Amino acid sequence: MEIAVESSSDTVNCEGADRYSGLCAGGNNTARGGTDIPGGVGAMCSSTRDSRLGVPSRDTDRNVRATETGTRHTRAESHLRRSLGLVTVAWVFGSVWVTATAGAPLTLYAQSLHASEFQFGLLSALPFIASLISMPASALIERTGKRKAIFIWGSYLNRVLWIPIALVPFWLVSHARASYSAAMAIFLILMFAMHSGGAIGGPAWTSWMADLVPDRVRGRYFSRRREWGILSAIPAALLAGWMLDRLHPSAPGANPLVTMQWCAIIFLWACAFGITDIHLFHYIEDHAAPEPKRESILKLFLRPLSDRQFLWFAGFVATLVFAVSFMGQFVTLYMIDKLRITNTQTQLMLLVAPMIAQLLVLSAWGRAADRMGKKPVLAIASLGLVPVGLGWCLVSSDHIWLGYVLSALGAALWVGVEVANLNVVLEMAGDEGGSNYVAVNSVIINVAGCLGGLSSGLIAQQLRNWHCDLSVIGLRDVTFYELLFALSGVLRLIAAVAFLPMIHEPTARPTREALRFMTSNIYNNLFNGILMPLRVLRLRAKESYAADRT
């Protein structure tokens, strides 16, 4: 890409010279017609004399080479725009798959299989456990260089397995072929296999995108890509909640088989969108595929572990993920089981409200990561997540509105962590480290997430009948839910205080400056969003006035 950019500047200069003086690529050389005036009459005569003899002049050769270079650069730019557009369109479909297979449908499906508190914690931990497979997947990428094929087939497995996830447990219990506990065990095994497919394709996708997306626009591009995904995810979340509430209200004592049936229908519908997402990547070429490496697997993965800055960064994100995974499935279960809100309300609170908040801040986080640096973005996001975790302890049936606020604010802050993390990992993957940095980073983070999910599940299992009466000080009873939320808030603070100061980024701007930058960007987004309908009405009024005058 650097060669193409440099060549494009030469092409522009050459085209300008040819347009205004009839000369190209010879303006900086001494004329060959007996004069020392650069680009003078002698050069013109020489070019004319050579062309009359039927021999291409040097100027003509240079002009042809410059034109060919410009054509190649134009084609490369066109190919890059097409590839980036396809990656974005693919995520519009993929976002529907992610949204429809999360939230209320997944929780209700597991609840209908009589999942215990520990099994809910295990369900939250499964993606992290499966991430261990990314290590051999990364080694396979380094050994073969076939990252596109590894990504596509691993991701197909990740999507297609939702068909047996939707049908097998439901068929086993509806036809009395197995008990609910056995069906739940099979459900967890299938979920693990599904997440394993994602772990296989993840490092390959990250390494591929590191070479595809120019580093100068990564933050903005992935923020804009995610915004388009949110536009398709919001109606998907609302439709899933509406189906579960209107077609089969999940009231206490409802038939679990009917609930599972509608959840299975949602899973199958989402699976079709997920497969479409991966299919679109067939049309994207991987021109920068890495050369196969014959290094030992141990040497490949020891390189990231010897990078001190990488370890501090991984420790920060791992601790933060451990803290967030304490909440995991228990927030959804808390809303449905304890507060008794509807499925539509659950989807609105835990999926739609966060997506709307992300729409407002995604572009601001992307610009801040590109211009201010990753460290100040991580500082703002991680410190802001501390009161969000603690605030969930105050959500009750009398203060449902607080759940919407915390869910939206938490998502708006967490996306800042994701944007900064993705930029750091892409930088590492684009260097000599390759996909092994991606895999090691993923494993460290996901092991922490796995431990967080399992720990929260064990705590919930042991304290499921525990409560603490705080009515004497004007507060409601505290159960294991509030305990998990409080622990999550404290652990988030530890991540920001213990690890973030050890991360060094020489080009990063001060955190206060990044915060001012973020505030102004979010204000502009809100202001433009409010004024957009007025601008559209004004434009239509002008068009109508012009048509009347005509």
Indicate whether 133 and 186 sit together in one domain.
yes
What is the reported pLDDT for 549?
60
In a domain, 210, yes or no: yes
Quick one: pLDDT at residue 302?
Answer: 74
- For residues 351 and 257, what is the distance between their CA atoms, to the nearest angstrom? 25
pLDDT at 157: 94
Q: Give the distance from CA 55 to its chain's centroid.
A: 57
Token output for 278: 């991966």
Angle, helices 297-305 vs 435-462, to 10°: value is 70
CATH number at residue 467: 1.20.1250.20
Q: Are 30 and 117 in a shared domain?
A: no
What pLDDT does residue 299 have?
67
- Would you state the pLDDT for residue 542? 60
Task: Note the pLDDT of residue 93.
Answer: 95
pLDDT of residue 155: 93
Asked if 318 contacts 450 with a C-beta cutoff of 8 angstroms, the reply is no
Domain total in the chain? 2
List CB contacts of 402: < 8 A, sequence separation 6 or more: 391, 394, 395
Residue 363 falls within a domain, yes or no?
Answer: yes
Structure-block tokens of residue 289: 């595929």
Please indicate, yes or no, if residue 533 is contained in any of the structural domains.
no
Same domain? 39 vs 114? no
Q: What is the DSSP letter of 478?
A: B
Name the one residue in this structure whose structure tokens are 């380094």: 142
128 and 47 share a domain? no
The residue assigned the tokens 């929780």 is 107
The CA radius of gyration of the chain, in Å to the nearest whole number, is 29
Identify the DSSP state of 468: B
pLDDT at 286: 82
CB atoms within 10 A of CB 104: 30
Residues 45, 115: one domain? no
Q: Say if residue 68 is in the same domain as residue 111.
A: no
User: Do both 57 and 122 map to the same domain?
Assistant: no
Give a yes or no: residue 79 inside a domain.
no
Q: Are residues 208 and 256 in the same domain?
A: yes
Distance spanning both ends of the chain, measured CA to CA: 50
What residues make up the domain containing 516? 101-528
Residues in the chain predicted with pLDDT less than 70, given as ranges, are 1-73, 247-254, 288-290, 293-301, 428-435, 439, 470-476, 525, 527-550
Asked if 288 and 331 sit in the same domain, the reply is yes
Alpha helices in 213-294 (DSSP H): 218-242, 256-279
Question: What pLDDT, on the 0 to 100 scale, is given for residue 249?
Answer: 54
Does residue 409 sit in the same domain as residue 321? yes
> Against a cut of 0.95, is the pTM above it?
no
Cα–Cα distance measured from residue 529 to residue 531, given in angstroms and rounded to the nearest whole number: 6
CB within 8 A of 385, min separation 6: which ones? 320, 324, 410, 413, 414, 417, 492
291 and 145 Cβ atoms separated by less than 8 Å: yes
457, 522: one domain: yes
Burial 288-303 (b: 16+ CB within 10 A, else e): ebbeebeeeeeebbeb
Rounded distance between C-alpha atoms, residue 267 and residue 167, angstroms: 9
Q: Is 391 exposed, middle or buried (0-12, 13-18, 19+ CB in 10 A)?
A: middle
Do 348 and 421 belong together in one domain? yes
Asked whether residue 541 is assigned to any structural domain, the reply reads: no
* DSSP E strand boundaries for 170-222: none
Asked, for residue 546, whether it belongs to a domain, the answer is: no
- Taken as a whole, the chain contains a residue count of 550
